[in-house]
Structure 1
Amino acid sequence: MSANLIGLLYDATLQTLYMVAVSALLGTLFGLPLGVFLATSQRGELMSAPWWNTVLGLVVNAARSIPFIILVVAIIPFTRWVAGTSIGTTAAIVPLTLAATPFIARLVENAIREVDAGLIEAARAMGATPVQIIRKVLIPEALPGLVLGLTLAVVSLIGYSAMVGAVGGEGLGDLGIRYGYQRFMPDVMLAVVVILIVMVQLVQSAGEWIARLVDKRAPRNRGG
């Protein structure tokens, strides 16, 4: 493989990391509060708003039902309005964020719902407000599950970032299509696949390590 292709691989890897990191951050900023609300807003829950829970739940389900490649094409006018263009790494962040937000919201909702209801009742008995219960009970107790859920979301975004290369999103997916497929260069395709696998493994390992670190229930090894 030539030095030029190695340089292209390096640039494409940075582009993929940029797309995934920014869309994961934005998806979390939007998806985390949405997921918390979905987990606490059914009838009789902390922030009881069953009508809003139903409406937002339907919106989230609808957004998750759209195949990503179709979503990318369908929102091109919106992407152009937000990013000023419909091609490139910055433009790709728009559909990636829209795909990540409902996915993260459901992962957060599931993690929050796994918290022991007895803890919530105990906090209520001590006079804690719904916001205090969410901040000091639900999120800390659900933190390991939240970390694992966000890890899964980042892994999915890595795969989505490769797909977006098919419609001008740049990154490793674009490089694999233009060189590995269209120019019949299997070594480039193999390099792209290997880099993506390494990225997924690193993210998964880091997420599992952080989840163990923040899990108060996990046994701690003591020296001596």
Structure 2
Amino acid sequence: MTENQRLKIILDRLNFKTQKEFAESLNIQQGSLSDILRERIGISNAIKDRLFLKFNVNIKWLEDGEGEPFLKKGPVISETKEGVPYFNVSLADEDLSILEESQAEYFVNYKPFNDCTAYLPVYGDSMYPKYASGEIIAVREITNFDVLQWGEAYVIMTNEKSNHLRSIKLIFEHSDKNKLILRSSNPNFKGDTIVEKNSITALYIIKGKITRNLI
């Protein structure tokens, strides 16, 4: 059985009256859902995130058939903007500069991370292997760049002065108080990057993660 076929089981168990209602709940077109169910196209990571966050779908079961279709507990989507905003964006997006609540796809009410600023998905190869593609990180915005936790992982965004960097990096103290050392713990990305603090447009410390496969 493929993950597309297993999605049909999810649709049946959620008791939606029509495929259109299910498609709307996933923020996709009915035609796209139809193509997925007919196995013409695959299920994107963004759709899997919505299945997980909105309906507690066990993505490990969806992808591999392991475990049960639904998780017993986990984050839930808030209908009243209660919780933390989720942004379906990629750190590689050149247009990404700062996270604004008005651009949130929805809000996630998950008590362990309700003091955070945002949830972000991890797409592609992460500079920090602890956070792998397919996981969702909880981040808290940092506004005082003089008070940082050295050696911790941060999402960092910079302006053109630092080549519009968008990445997850470990941050270390530099001998020049106006600069920071950015370092990857991923062996595939060697070397340090030095940036000036005044080139940073946004900085978020990573407080934890939720995964589409396990809580």
TM-score, scaled relative to structure 2? 0.23
Q: Which structure has the larger Rg over C-alpha atoms?
A: 1
Choose between structure 1 and 2: higher helix proportion. 1
Choose between structure 1 and 2: higher strand proportion. 2
Higher relative contact order, chain-length normalized (CA < 8 Å, sep 6+): 1
